[in-house]
Chains A and B, each alone.
Chain A
Amino acid sequence: MKRNNCQGLPSRMPDNTAFQQQQLPACRPSLTARAVLPGFFATGVSFLGMGILLILSAKSVKEIEITYTDLCSNCSKLRENASNFYKECTCSIPFFIPEKMPGNVYMYYKLHNFYQNYRRYIISRNNRQLLGEDNTDVENCAPFQRASNDRPIAPCGAIANSMFNDTILLSYYPNSSTGINVPLLSSEITWWTDKHVKFQNPKSSNLSSAFAGTAKPPYWRKPVYQLDQENPENNGFLNNDFIVWMRVAALPTFKKLYRRIHRIQQFADGLPAGNYSLDISYNFPVTVFKGEKGVVLSTATWSGGKNFFLGVAYTATGAMTWLAAFSLMAVHLKLKKKKASFQC
């Protein structure tokens, strides 16, 4: 046979290593009351603290929400009928800000019941087209790939087609008669990477020639290169509103950043308290799907918007942990007593 039986260590003897003998040094945590008590108390404390912190910070956020579907009911009705597509409809909504909104103030539009996460909706887009590589690349964009004249739609797909196209203006009324337009910025409302990496206009001398040979999405009034004719940086695929819209919302009720307040003049410290009004050019139909839309003005903190949930959740969990800790302690003490009784 291969091996020599008589001499040396037997070759088949397994190695005596801790790993092979399954004797690796190990810690064996045992989940007994005593062992976990400190952890429970510590968790409780830190969670309570965090919860309070979060609640406080959420409380500091000032937020105003104006749902204007019903307030502009005439426009809503008008939009229900597709034949009124090109009819203008504007709507002005006065509102009052009771407290000053300090710091950066953001303006969002909010849609209720709009299923941007609907599966066939999500997949109906083409990232390569949006990158400006090839206008004719309309793969995956069904059914909004090509217009009736067989031109490729730019931007193609259902998401682009259904872009939110209300325009919202904010006016401030320091006194009852005269209104000042609140300066709104549309820059930097997108992710930096979206604006600079994911969305690019096709390379060409000017935009209209770049999009020559393409059709506008059927629900759009203007072709893509006319989205913002004043600012070429904000036109075409690079239009901020467009980019924001293309980032699909997670839930059927969502808000999207629309503008931020330009902090100049009397708005340098945010929005002062007082009377304001929204001037809305109402284009986006929502009543068809029993939806609603609104405008949200909000400040921001490190922990996001005015959402108390996390704070409450932390506080509640912290409290629960303490409760559990106390009951564990009770159990532990009882058992200890019992054990002690054996010893005497």
Chain B
Amino acid sequence: MGTDGGARRKETAAREEGDQGQEEPRRHRQQQRHRRRRESKTRTVRSNLLPPPGGGEPDVATKGAPHRWWWSQGGSQYLADNRLKTTKYTVLSFLPKNLFEQFHRLANVYFVLIALFNFVPVLNAFQPELALAPVLFILAVTAIKDLWEDYSRHRSDHEINHLDCLVYCRDEKKFVNRYWKEVRVGDFVQLRCNEIIPADILLLSSSDPDGLCHIETANLDGETNLKQRQVVREFLELDAEFNPLKFTSIIECEKPNNDLSRFRGNIIHENGKKAALYKENLLLRGCTIRNTEEVTGIVIYAGHETKALLNNSGPRYKRSKLERQMNMDVLWCVLILIVMCLFSAVGHGLWVRQYGERKKPLFDVPQSDGSDLSPVLAAVYLFLTMIIVLQVLIPISLYVSIEIVKICQVFFIHQDKELYDEETDSKLQCRALNITEDLGQIQYIFSDKTGTLTENKMIFRRCTVSGIEYSHDANARRIAMYQEADSEEDEAAPKGGTLSQRGSIGSHQSVKVVHRTQSTKSHRRTGSRAEAKRASILSKHTAFSSPMEKDITPDPKLFEKVNECARCLEIMRNQEKSLSHLTPELADIFDFFIALTICNTVVVTAPNQPRHKVRVRFELKSPVKTIEDFIRRFTPSRLTSGSNSGSSSSLSTSKSTHKTGSSFLSTLSTESTLLKLEAGLTRSSPKMNTNGYGVQPGGGWATENGLKEGELRYEAESPDEAALVYAARAYNCSLVGRLPDQVSVELPYLGRLTFELLHTLGFDSIRKRMSVVIRHPLTDEINVYTKGADSVMMDLLLPCSSDDSRGKHQKKIQSKTQNYLNFYAADGLRTLCIAKKVLSKEEYACWLQSHLEAESSLENRDELLFQSAIRLETNLHLLGATGIEDRLQDGVPETIANLRQAGLQIWVLTGDKQETAVNIAYACKLLDHDEEIITLNAESQETCAALLEQCLYYVESKFSDSEVKKSLGKVNVGVASLHPPSPSAATCPNLGLVIDGKTLAYALDKTLEDKFLSLARRCRSVLCCRSTPLQKSMVVKLVRNKLKAMTLAIGDGANDVSMIQVADVGVGISGQEGMQAVMASDFAVPRFRQLEKLLLVHGHWCYSRLANMVLYFFYKNAMFVALLFWYQFYCGFSASSMIDQWFLIFFNLLFSSLPQLITGVLDKDVPAEILVTVPQLYKSGQNTEEYQPYMFWMNMIDATYQSLVCFFIPYFAYHDSDVDIFSWGTVITTIALFTIILHLGIETKTWTWLHWTACSFSILIFFIVALVYNASCSTCFPPSNPYWTMQRLMGDPMFYLTTIISSVVALLPRFLYRTFQGTLFPTQLQLGRQLARWGPKEFSVHKDTISQQHPVGEQGLESTASKGSDTSGPHPQDHSPLASQSGHQPASVTESRSGHRTANVNAQSLKNTVMDSLRGHSPVPQRPEGAVQEGPPGDSEGESSTREVSPLSSILDLPDFSLLNWISSTPLFNGFGRAFRFSQSSLQTDVLGSTFFSIGSQLDQDLKGLKRETSDCFQEKVKGTAAVCHNSENLETTFL
């Protein structure tokens, strides 16, 4: 089984879990039923190889009989086997079941019922067979679609069920290959490295000497790091190999449940001994075995009872919002239909009655038996007949058309090149066919973080050691190179031969290869990131080790210093000098790298397959180690103090580990330990010393497996640890081995050093740091290395006196480091502080005593351990700090900014640590540095409630504050913004909410959820950290249900599956971590940034297309049916129709369907590039602007009008003539068809040749069908028998004249309305369309001119502009490095703007107004009030610093201002625009301020005047000419 096979398996396993979700709810229900029936709370599992407890047949197991598994209580009970079944139908059940399901759709029942009505002789309006045809057609189409879907499900099930795994066979006394589906509870399964676990298995044996097994849970929770699992303790101590046949114990465990982080059970041995089982003993289905050669275990839960499958909360049947709304309108249609029928029925009753009993007219035909119908009975019959005749009002083809349109839309989304990712060679997948239009209406986005926003690659970027910054420029360049090379490759590909470019990359690359000291060369053939990434995907099993992360280019200065330091050390060691001779800086550097290397929990592995842990055990069994050994031996798997303990980032909570440990430790007597410890310490020192030195040259190190240097791999529980270790390795300080009690480091000149590991104080989110206590081999000192978040570390530093120079120096270092840290943070890097502390032996002994006490105490042990750790981590000596980049995916900040502008609220739900999450949130501009952040961390329900209350109060007070301001602004804009934006304004409702998982659990409680929600919705961004998959889905559900908002969840890992399923639209990121999220999702995109196009473009299109199509459908049918209804007034309400029944039935299906389908599939209301550059247009979908309830009624009214025209114009035209009914009906049909198609023409925004063809084809086919049908048979199709009707009509000029006038008159009002509205009050979308009329070319040229004139247009405005921004902008100046940068930005923008202005002012002014009103939401005349009202919501989503600006600029209607807004709104100029708007804002503010006081009712006119004035003024100013028109002093002061 090679890598390839493994990869494939992984994929299929992942697929399986995704699919299983669909089956899940049913299973779950079944299970609950079982659960209710059974009283017992446990399940008992015994070996399969044993005869069943009741005796009986000895060997059922190997025969594969299904009933091998028994519940101990409750008699025989079949347990779920490992077979996966997600299909809905079998061959036999397909037809009935599918029909049954189809009839769940009310419309289908309706249509079948109507069709059946036709068979009732009294009613039959049409030929029954003919009436049945459309219904059958529609049912058949749907059935075929369902069949196909189910078949593909079946295929994927089959694939998974037939994966192989090794199961112990009793007969053959060895493990044999079996299919997954044959695995049963109680089977013994053997798994090898890189295999996927087929069921939930209790780990009984491992090839690892320590009884460990590493698994990767990426498929379950999305974390790619390795987790350790532990063999059940009793079996760990087995000397011989594990033999399943000898397994006689009985396992009692919980019922299957979906709690991934919990497993409780007991194993009862034959001798009656009972031992506890923990979740560390359980291997979960879907995970992958890593790093461990071979493990064996017994299956506890199988198939649909596994935790992985239970954790998938099943999908809802997703019905799009639009469809829900449409169904409402369908109901309205039904109501209208009933009213029409009732009306006709009553009319008919009256009509019949007027002739009385006696005077039967000739045409009132009696019934077949000659008797007359009573008026009432006639009315009743007529009611039913009318329903048949008017059934078309409920559009039968609507549902089919919608399905067809959606399939086509899906096709086009699939085909979009921009949604294709070359790196992973994957493109967007639409897995849900029926919710494409929901993409256009999303209001909330819930995003996973790791792997979704970020690439999940930690890269060491820069560091500072003892106050000196090492910028690692080469490293930065290298990272940039990956991207450049990538983009250049993209460019090069179409051009074909830009060899020179490629060559240059290559040479660059080779230069770097020299720099790199240790690298895996396999991935480095080309500089292409795509290539590298592909390679890294292939070698996925090496967690976090793409070349980008591994190959760090060292900073030459630092590299030099490290070498120097090492040299010194070597000299000193040879001379047996004390290390204190080293200069403080070099000492710091040395310690810094030691800390980077060892202060972590990284496991070293060799890359061979299967991967063994590198075991370089230096047998150091001296008496010195008694205590350590003592402790270690009695602790299961070094969980308490061992180096490899499951860190807090793993699934395991540290609590449970501690408990495991504590139960054992409690048996120890603390005193004795301590006594021995003291003894050991005193004796150890001299020996260790010699050891430390003596070992080096001798090479007492044994390497296994012919391990070579440089081929080591590091596997860390969190990727940043790995990044640091790789960074240290770049400086030749490489970690070569880690054992529970020792760490060995390879150093230049010094060779291998081995550090005795005394303690590891693992990371936790409260302390926000981790520490290791080691004994230094060179100095034999006990050192504490601590690394952690700077926020806590800086307070723990040794307070340095400012008296002596050393203290001063240290203080300086600290403040410098702090500065750099701030800089890093502002740069979006993850910062870590590294510090050191030297402990004297006494101090250590003292601390150790209390620590051991803490470890052994029974009550609040966690608390005591925490205290103990805090005691140790004080008075630290700062070494330095590092900046690590969790690389964001390309374009994430821009995408987020754009999506925000589009009115989407983005929440990030992550399982990650709070710090990490916040960091990333800053990096991707989700949180802003000048944003106020509410952090909710509560330990209990009560505190959480109190906290929420408090925050809510706080926010509300703020809100009301700003509310006041807003209302003020409405009355008098000038006053509110007269003062330059004050700091208080900057904190307005600009809030970010950070909440951790624990608190979230409380907050999601029924009692608190409302509060939580009302708080969260007021925040600009919400960040939920440490949330479990279930919590994620609960959050989504909460928002969806309570806020009635459209939600989209995007994630990449299996931990996002339930959230993806719960959301209205689930999006999976494909290609990163397994396929599970993808399988559960409705859409899968390769990269996060593609969400932008998916939502803003395709979502918008799909929505607008479908909305328009549905509305059109209603219109069309209503209009057509109304024609028939009007006729009832002229035929005694007798339900006769002038339109031939063929036309009637096929009008919808055949004649008028194609154009609307084409329009529904291809119409583009606004072209893609406009939609992307003006994200605000997306709001039309969010506000369901294209399909509002009133629009349905407007359409109905229009339909009524049009039908009146189409009926009465022919009526009067043929009035008093000898026209026969079907000729006249054909005229009306023709008119209706023309009107309907031309109506569509008015509504179509983009005409391609396909539209033209479809429309002409429809008309053509109508005439062809009519002609053929009317010539085909002279006696058929009673009663109409329309022989030669059409032919005759076409020879009559009246026919054409009537058709033309009717169509024109019918469409004139709508056409006029559209024209007036488009001219006078254009909507945002229409403006966008107009913008597009300048054409994409000109559009891009326009953009180019802006960027090109950058350098050209220098007119000495730099200083003024930057000054303006400085004085007015509420820009945060706390980060000095950034502030200086931002100083430059406005200047450059001004340049570009001035240059641009001269070039474009006149030509573009029209465009400007368009843009302007685009931004300002409301049509021109209403702007002042409207814009102010619109402003605040808009700017809460925009950049915080522009808050004051955007409403103002829209009020002002300054072409140039708005243009700038426009420019800055494009992603390209994002940064510039923000900075620039400050100056703009000040200008506008002041202008307004001076003039606005006197503005009363004439606001409008004044404004207009002002606009012109100001624009002129501004124009001239920009050009640098004399400032002629000074509107106010303020203007001058700010601007000059």
Residues of A within 8 A of B (CB): 1, 3, 5-6, 10-16, 20-22, 24-33, 36, 43, 47, 50, 54, 108, 110, 114-128, 131, 133, 140, 142-143, 145, 158, 161-162, 191, 193-194, 197-198, 219, 247-257, 285, 288-289, 291, 302-305, 307, 309-310, 313-314, 317, 320-321, 324, 328, 331-332, 335, 338-339, 341-344
CB-CB under 8 A from A128, the residues of chain B are: 1275
* Choice from B412, B420, B1276, B1329 contacting A13 with Cβ under 8 Å: B420
A189 nearest in chain B by CB position:
B1218
Q: A307-B1217, A339-B1409, A343-B1402 are in contact. List 15 more A-B contacts (CB 8 A).
A: A24-B1250, A25-B1249, A26-B1246, A30-B1318, A32-B1319, A115-B1132, A118-B364, A118-B1134, A124-B365, A143-B367, A219-B362, A251-B1130, A251-B1215, A313-B1209, A320-B1308
A-B contact pairs, 24 of them (CB 8 A): A22-B416, A24-B1248, A25-B1248, A28-B1167, A29-B1247, A30-B1326, A31-B1311, A31-B1319, A32-B1319, A43-B1304, A114-B361, A114-B363, A115-B1132, A118-B1134, A123-B1278, A193-B1288, A251-B1130, A289-B362, A302-B1293, A307-B1215, A310-B1301, A313-B1209, A317-B1301, A317-B1308
* Choice from B385, B1162, B1249, B1405 contacting A22 with Cβ under 8 Å: B1162
A304 touches B1217 (CB 8 A): yes
* Choice from A16, A24, A142, A193 contacting B417 with Cβ under 8 Å: A16
A331 nearest in chain B by CB position:
B1319
A113 nearest in chain B by CB position:
B361
* Choice from A30, A197, A255, A331 contacting B1274 with Cβ under 8 Å: A197
A158 touches B363 (CB 8 A): yes
- Taking the closest CB of chain A, its distance from the CB of B66, in whole angstroms, is 35
A12 touches B1333 (CB 8 A): no
A28 touches B1134 (CB 8 A): no
CB-CB under 8 A from A124, the residues of chain B are: 365
B1405 touches A342 (CB 8 A): yes
B1329 touches A30 (CB 8 A): yes
B1297 nearest in chain A by CB position:
A310
A32 touches B1315 (CB 8 A): yes
Binds A, one of B211-219, B929-937, B1219-1227: B1219-1227
CB-CB under 8 A from B1213, the residues of chain A are: 307, 309-310, 313
B1281 contacts chain A at the CB level, 8 A cutoff: yes
Known A122-B1279, A250-B1224: A117·B362 in contact at CB below 8 Å: no
B361 touches A289 (CB 8 A): yes
* Choice from B359, B427, B1217, B1329 contacting A305 with Cβ under 8 Å: B1217
- Taking the closest CB of chain A, its distance from the CB of B1074, in whole angstroms, is 15
Question: Complex: how many Å from CA A304 to CA B1357?
Answer: 79
A14 touches B417 (CB 8 A): yes
A313 touches B1283 (CB 8 A): no
Please name the 9 residue pairs, one residue from A and one from B, whose CB atoms are nearest each other, closest first.
A289-B361, A119-B1136, A142-B368, A162-B362, A250-B1224, A119-B1134, A20-B415, A123-B1279, A193-B1284
B414 contacts chain A at the CB level, 8 A cutoff: yes
- Taking the closest CB of chain A, its distance from the CB of B1288, in whole angstroms, is 7
B332 contacts chain A at the CB level, 8 A cutoff: no
B355 contacts chain A at the CB level, 8 A cutoff: yes
B1315 touches A197 (CB 8 A): no
Question: Complex: how many Å from CA A6 to CA B1402?
Answer: 53
- From residue 1262 to 1277 of chain B, which have CB atoms closer than 8 A to chain A? 1274-1276
Residues of B within 8 A of A (CB): 4, 7-8, 355, 359-370, 385, 412, 414-417, 420, 422, 425-427, 534, 538, 1130-1132, 1134-1136, 1138, 1162, 1164, 1167-1168, 1209, 1211-1225, 1242, 1245-1250, 1274-1276, 1278-1279, 1281, 1283-1284, 1288, 1293-1294, 1297-1298, 1301, 1304-1305, 1308, 1311-1312, 1314-1316, 1318-1320, 1326, 1329-1330, 1332-1333, 1402, 1405-1406, 1408-1409, 1420, 1455, 1508, 1511
- Taking the closest CB of chain A, its distance from the CB of B710, in whole angstroms, is 25
A310 touches B415 (CB 8 A): no
Question: Complex: how many Å from CA A131 to CA B1274?
Answer: 9
Known A255-B1218, A328-B1315: A158·B365 in contact at CB below 8 Å: yes
Known A118-B363, A143-B365: A125·B1405 in contact at CB below 8 Å: no
- Taking the closest CB of chain A, its distance from the CB of B125, in whole angstroms, is 8
- Taking the closest CB of chain A, its distance from the CB of B627, in whole angstroms, is 54
Question: Complex: how many Å from CA A16 to CA B1131?
Answer: 58
A3 nearest in chain B by CB position:
B425
- Taking the closest CB of chain B, its distance from the CB of A12, in whole angstroms, is 5
Question: Complex: how many Å from CA A297 to CA B1343?
Answer: 75
B428 nearest in chain A by CB position:
A14
CB-CB under 8 A from A123, the residues of chain B are: 1278-1279
B1247 touches A33 (CB 8 A): no
Question: Complex: how many Å from CA A253 to CA B1218?
Answer: 10
A198 touches B1248 (CB 8 A): no
B1405 touches A343 (CB 8 A): yes
* Choice from A116, A251, A313 contacting B363 with Cβ under 8 Å: A116
A1 touches B4 (CB 8 A): yes
* Choice from A117, A289, A310 contacting B355 with Cβ under 8 Å: A289
CB-CB under 8 A from B1278, the residues of chain A are: 123, 125-127, 140
Question: Complex: how many Å from CA A342 to CA B1250?
Answer: 40
Question: Complex: how many Å from CA A16 to CA B415?
Answer: 9
- Taking the closest CB of chain B, its distance from the CB of A95, in whole angstroms, is 19
Task: Pick from B360, B417, B1276, B1333 the residue with the most CB of A within 10 Å.
Answer: B417
A5 touches B425 (CB 8 A): yes
CB-CB under 8 A from A125, the residues of chain B are: 1278-1279
* Choice from A12, A117, A142, A338 contacting B1136 with Cβ under 8 Å: A117
A339 touches B1279 (CB 8 A): no
* Choice from B363, B1219, B1311 contacting A115 with Cβ under 8 Å: B363
A338 nearest in chain B by CB position:
B1420
CB-CB under 8 A from B1132, the residues of chain A are: 115, 118, 252
Known A309-B1213, A314-B1301, A317-B1308: A117·B1315 in contact at CB below 8 Å: no
B363 touches A162 (CB 8 A): yes
CB-CB under 8 A from B1511, the residues of chain A are: 342
A14 touches B427 (CB 8 A): yes
CB-CB under 8 A from B1130, the residues of chain A are: 117, 251-252
B1276 nearest in chain A by CB position:
A127
Question: Complex: how many Å from CA A302 to CA B1296?
Answer: 12
Known A302-B1293, A313-B1305: A249·B1220 in contact at CB below 8 Å: yes
CB-CB under 8 A from B1248, the residues of chain A are: 24-26
Question: Complex: how many Å from CA A11 to CA B1278?
Answer: 57
Question: Complex: how many Å from CA A208 to CA B1311?
Answer: 63
CB-CB under 8 A from A22, the residues of chain B are: 412, 416, 1162, 1164, 1168
- Taking the closest CB of chain A, its distance from the CB of B1325, in whole angstroms, is 11
CB-CB under 8 A from B417, the residues of chain A are: 13-14, 16, 21
B1405 touches A250 (CB 8 A): no
Question: Complex: how many Å from CA A314 to CA B1279?
Answer: 35
B1275 touches A198 (CB 8 A): yes
CB-CB under 8 A from B1276, the residues of chain A are: 127
- Taking the closest CB of chain B, its distance from the CB of A306, in whole angstroms, is 8
CB-CB under 8 A from A29, the residues of chain B are: 1245, 1247
* Choice from B1209, B1215, B1409 contacting A342 with Cβ under 8 Å: B1409
CB-CB under 8 A from A25, the residues of chain B are: 1248-1249
CB-CB under 8 A from A193, the residues of chain B are: 1274, 1283-1284, 1288
Known A22-B412, A28-B1332, A320-B1308: A12·B1131 in contact at CB below 8 Å: no
* Choice from A248, A314, A335, A341 contacting B1319 with Cβ under 8 Å: A335
Question: Complex: how many Å from CA A309 to CA B1211?
Answer: 10
B1315 touches A254 (CB 8 A): no
B418 nearest in chain A by CB position:
A21
CB-CB under 8 A from A331, the residues of chain B are: 1316, 1319-1320
Question: Complex: how many Å from CA A255 to CA B1294?
Answer: 17
Question: Complex: how many Å from CA A132 to CA B1276?
Answer: 14
Question: Complex: how many Å from CA A121 to CA B1279?
Answer: 10
B1326 nearest in chain A by CB position:
A30
Question: Complex: how many Å from CA A272 to CA B417?
Answer: 80
